[in-house]
Structure 1
Amino acid sequence: MTATTLIKRAAGGCLALLLSPLAWSHPHSFIAMQTTPVVSNDALTGLKMVWTMDEITSADLLYDAGDATPDSPVWKKLAAEVMANVLAQHYFTEFWHQGKAVKFENLPPAYSLARSGAQAVLTFVLPLARPQPLAGQSYTFSSFDPTYFVDMTYKNAQSLSLPEALSSRCKLTLHTPEPDAALKDFALSLDKADAPPESMDLGRQFAQTVTLSCQ
């Protein structure tokens, strides 16, 4: 299941996406990400993520929401459906410490779906299964759709922010890969009906990596 599938299931299908010129090449949809580490008792407990979907991808979700107020059951139902599909794909995120994968809790402590102009915005806390020490430690994480059907991207370093408790002793570093021309051409050659070979792990090759380093 791709990240766009989670939106399709929540909204009953993205007709607007199918009609878009973007549908003729990978990626077909775009999510702009923002992330802030979550800290408790001087330990890293999770990541607060804000995913803003492009206008075409957002169209059906916002249509289903109609004029419902932000705290209405309509928005809560849509949020639950979208979040369930994110969870089914392990938050579309990998988190590493000293070369080992860090596990996540199965359920987020908080999540919501909202409208921002013509865009749908999913906000949630990705919880780590166990609090992680911060002093002298370094962590890396990355969020991506393995098929690269959806481009999940931090626009710039300002899309990453530290809570005040970490601002003086930690830093976040964003690394954006530079795939070669042949790989980019291959991605662009895929139309909506195509899927790259699973072994190719196409999305990972375009995925940005964030490093959290603390003194």
Structure 2
Amino acid sequence: MLFYNICKRLLLCAMLLATATHALAHPHSFISMQVTLVHKNNLLTGLKMHWVMDEMTSADLLYDAGDANPDSVVWKKLAAEVMANVLGQHYFSEFWHEGKAVKFENLPPAYHLSRQGPKAVLEFVLPLAEPQPLTGQRYLFSTFDPTYFVDMTYDSEQSLHVPAELEKQCKMTLKTPKPNAALQALALSLDKADAPRADDDLGRQFAQSVTLICR
């Protein structure tokens, strides 16, 4: 139930494989992210996401995929299942401009699931409902699981990609929060049976934020 966020079957495997110590602490699953700006005619149209799941989280998906060809129906079906769960959580993302939320399209124009060694990789374009101007603008966005069951992080600012044609105009910076000791202790004390509800917003306290500034 807790991993409705990515794929229920996926997390079941992770729980079974986790050690007793790991199973008693939040988060239970890890996703390493990269993002690239998508633009057209000096308008921001979306964000291209690249999510690499940890080995335990990936195990069930890769088992189901077996030796199937990367472009086979098997992989396409698995990609659709995972993407459906991501869409059910509004892409796990928020995007802000001048203090107002920017809406997303309901469906991505493209998505793809693949294998990277022992890890599963989900790639998709998160489309903005309305293209946003770049010149002279500042945006803030964040991607996180509200329950903090899944840790979703950028390793560094090297994971934030600005297309070459925008490098002189736009820059992205990463801010990683530093939760206090009490909040960290709370997360570590939770097990899968008493994890916080999404509306408790624990994940937001640990969520990184990306600032996009364009001249």
TM-score by length of 1: 0.95
Correspondence 1:13-52 to 2 at 5 A? 14-21=12-19, 22-52=22-52
Between 127-136 and 15-24, the greater mean CA deviation after superposition = 15-24
Whole-angstrom distance in 1 between the partners of 2:195 and 2:15: 17
- Cα RMSD (Å): 1.4
Report the equivalent of 2:135: 135
Whole-angstrom distance in 1 between the partners of 2:198 and 2:77: 32
Evaluate the alpha carbon distance shift between residue 105 and residue 5 of structure 1 in structure 2; reply closer, same or farther with a 3 A threshold: closer
What's the secondary structure of 1:14's corresponding residue?
Answer: helix
Q: Is this contact kept in 2: 1:139–1:212, CA < 8 A?
A: yes
Aligned residues: 213
Report the equivalent of 2:61: 61
Whole-angstrom distance in 1 between the partners of 2:90 and 2:199: 19
- Structure 1 gaps of 5+ residues are none
Evaluate the alpha carbon distance shift between residue 199 and residue 84 of structure 1 in structure 2; reply closer, same or farther with a 3 A threshold: closer
Evaluate the alpha carbon distance shift between residue 162 and residue 148 of structure 1 in structure 2; reply closer, same or farther with a 3 A threshold: same
Whole-angstrom distance in 2 between the partners of 1:3 and 1:151: 12
- Structure 2 gaps of 5+ residues are none
The code of the aligned residue for 1:116 comes to Q
The code of the aligned residue for 2:15 comes to L
Whole-angstrom distance in 1 between the partners of 2:154 and 2:71: 28
Report the equivalent of 1:186: 186
Evaluate the alpha carbon distance shift between residue 175 and residue 3 of structure 1 in structure 2; reply closer, same or farther with a 3 A threshold: farther
The code of the aligned residue for 2:12 comes to C
Report the equivalent of 1:159: 159
TM-score by length of 2: 0.95
Q: Is this contact kept in 2: 1:157–1:173, CA < 8 A?
A: yes
Deviation at 1:19, TM superposition (A): 3.2
Report the equivalent of 1:105: 105
